[in-house]
Amino acid sequence: MLFDIRTIVGALLACYGLIVLVTGLTYDAAEQEAKTGGIDINQWTGIGMLIAAAVFFTWVRLRPVQVPPTPPENEKPAE
């Protein structure tokens, strides 16, 4: 479960989402808000990335990877 690609993508989205959210909450520039029409785009993007990360982590917990069992060496496979 640790090396599942969904876990890695979720962790990256969570890290970047947290960075972007903190940037949106702390950095306030009038010229940036003028470009986006008064919307704090960093804050909303960070929230969206954190929600996407939560979806990935939930997906990993609800549908784990199923490894097919391997037959023992001394038995013949069923035909």
Predicted local confidence at residue 78, as pLDDT: 65
Number of Cα atoms under 13 Å in the Cβ half of residue 25:
8
In 3D, which of 32, 31, 34, 51 has the Cα closest to residue 42? 32
The residue ranking higher by pLDDT, 36 or 78, is: 36
- pTM of the prediction? 0.77
Phi, then psi, of 67 in degrees rounded to 5: -90, 125
pLDDT tens digits, 14-59 = 999 999 999 999 987 788 888 888 888 999 999 999 999 999 999 9
Q: Which of 55-59, 66-70, 75-79 has the highest mean pLDDT?
A: 55-59
**What does the block give as tokens for 36?**
């986006």
